[in-house]
């Protein structure tokens, strides 16, 4: 294998060729960074969190593929992943994950003690999550915690505390993650069932579409409650309205339960994240201008 081929395999192992996962992890962190300070965060904090989010996403993908290396060859969507195809060895993958985690930990050391302590819990969840599908009927709940953990860290890094709005934002994000990861699980449902793996799509069965839409509804309801509680303006709620429209579009995509359309619905959540962030950022920006 040439150096270029090996680097390409590492890129695919870290999913750098598929940034959707990093974006879905990043959006809630950005929401929290802006909401915690009710404005634009300091550039150095923003840089640490963006870089750390990408590193943790990459490390999480490598750990996930290590955990699933015996299952992925039997799943249509994952059989060509580098570990499943034997292009990258488990030792190489473990080394790569370790390096990524060490770099991410170096970034966390630039933050305060509370953020550092929280990062250790975040690491534990990142390592545990890939194994949940073996024994827990609703592993998407694990991802809901893992992918929303940047929220308390963002509040901790900027405020040195974990106020109630941050926990409310984490709860809202948890339900959003349940929604889009169930759409993702609907793509692999048949393969997962044959392998004896667990997922929300399997446990919900014919109620899967209703479950996705209920999770979206809870996400939007909690976000609206946060907006009312924290006195956000019309732009914040316009962002939520756009997100609601996108959720309805996803319903049209998933109601037939076709694999390709379920995957399209999953990817559409990037725009949901952007819509909510745009509403938050614009609302806070104009509030700052009014005060000035």
Q: How far is CA 256 from CA 140, 206, 270, in A?
A: 21, 11, 21
Q: What is the pTM of this model?
A: 0.94
Owner of token pair 């919900």:
204
| pLDDT score of 86 | 86
What pLDDT digit, counting tens, does each position of 153-182 carry?
Answer: 999 999 999 999 999 999 999 999 999 999
| pLDDT score of 289 | 60
**Cα(285)–Cα(131) distance, integer angstroms:** 42
| pLDDT score of 63 | 94
Grade residue 5 by pLDDT with cuts at 50, 70 and 90.
confident
3-state secondary structure 94-151: HHHHHHHHHHHHHHHCCCCHHHHHHHHHHHHHHHHHHHHCCCCCCCHHHHHHHHHCHH
| pLDDT score of 292 | 53
The region of weakest confidence among 29-33, 123-127, 206-210, 250-254 is 123-127
| pLDDT score of 70 | 84
| pLDDT score of 4 | 85
| pLDDT score of 76 | 77
Domains defined for the chain, CATH in brackets: 3-291 (1.10.357.140)
Which residues, in sequence order, are CB contacts of 58 under 8 Å at separation 6+? Answer: 14, 15, 16, 22, 100
**Cα(166)–Cα(292) distance, integer angstroms:** 26
**Cα(238)–Cα(79) distance, integer angstroms:** 41
């Amino acid at each position: 294998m040439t150096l270029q081929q090996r680097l390409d395999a590492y890129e695919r192992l870290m999913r750098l060729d598929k940034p959707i996962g990093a974006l879905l992890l990043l959006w809630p962190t950005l929401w929290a960074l802006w909401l915690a300070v009710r404005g634009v965060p300091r550039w150095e904090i923003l840089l640490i969190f963006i870089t750390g989010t990408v590193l943790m996403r990459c490390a999480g993908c490598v750990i996930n593929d290590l955990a699933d290396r015996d299952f992925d060859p039997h799943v249509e969507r994952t059989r060509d992943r580098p570990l499943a195809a034997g292009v990258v060895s488990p030792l190489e993958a473990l080394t790569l994950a370790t390096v990524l985690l060490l770099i991410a930990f170096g970034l966390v050391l630039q933050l305060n003690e509370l953020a550092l302590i929280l990062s250790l819990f975040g690491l534990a969840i990142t390592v545990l999550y890939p194994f949940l599908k073996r024994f827990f009927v609703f592993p998407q709940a694990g991802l809901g915690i893992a992918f929303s953990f940047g929220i308390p860290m963002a509040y901790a890094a900027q405020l040195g505390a974990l106020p109630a709005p941050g926990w409310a934002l984490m709860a809202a994000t948890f339900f959003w993650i349940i929604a889009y990861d169930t759409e993702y699980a609907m793509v692999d449902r048949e393969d997962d069932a044959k392998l004896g793996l667990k997922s929300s799509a399997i446990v919900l069965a014919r109620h899967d579409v209703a479950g996705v839409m209920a999770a979206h509804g809870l996400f939007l309801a909690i976000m609206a409650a946060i907006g009312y509680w924290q006195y956000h303006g019309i732009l914040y709620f316009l962002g939520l309205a756009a997100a609601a429209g996108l959720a309805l579009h996803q319903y049209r995509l998933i109601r037939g339960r076709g694999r390709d359309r379920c995957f399209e619905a999953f990817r559409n959540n990037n725009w949901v994240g952007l819509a909510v962030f745009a509403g938050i950022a614009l609302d806070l920006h104009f509030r700052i201008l009014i005060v000035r």
